[in-house]
Structure 1
Amino acid sequence: MPILKINKNEIFEVSLRKFKRLCEKSGILSELKKREFYEKPSSKRKKIKNKKK
């Protein structure tokens, strides 16, 4: 979990942008999209196999 400390004189929009960037770098959003719906192990294997081709 990314942690961001905000200074009192810092603008909220700037700190929100920094937080979004931290989340993107850590891969939280992509992991969330992957886990949003259950995917059967067989379909995972098919995807991996098709990517290799």
Structure 2
Amino acid sequence: MGRNEKGYFKDFQDIFTELKSMDISNLLRELKNEGKIVYKGSRNAGYWQLAKA
């Protein structure tokens, strides 16, 4: 996400192959709650983006 400033859920699954989908979802939710990332788009076709500082 650093270079592109956004990433789709599938991208995270490809990178973190050792984690289950629920684990990735929990990590993304934590980052969202901390204000570090935001979710853009629809539920199925959306992506995660770095929050503006």
Task: Output the TM-score relative to the length of structure 1.
Answer: 0.38
Higher RCO (CA < 8 A, seq sep 6+) = 2
Which structure's CA Rg is the greater one?
A: 1
- Higher helix proportion: 1
- Higher strand proportion: 2
Task: Output the TM-score relative to the length of structure 2.
Answer: 0.38
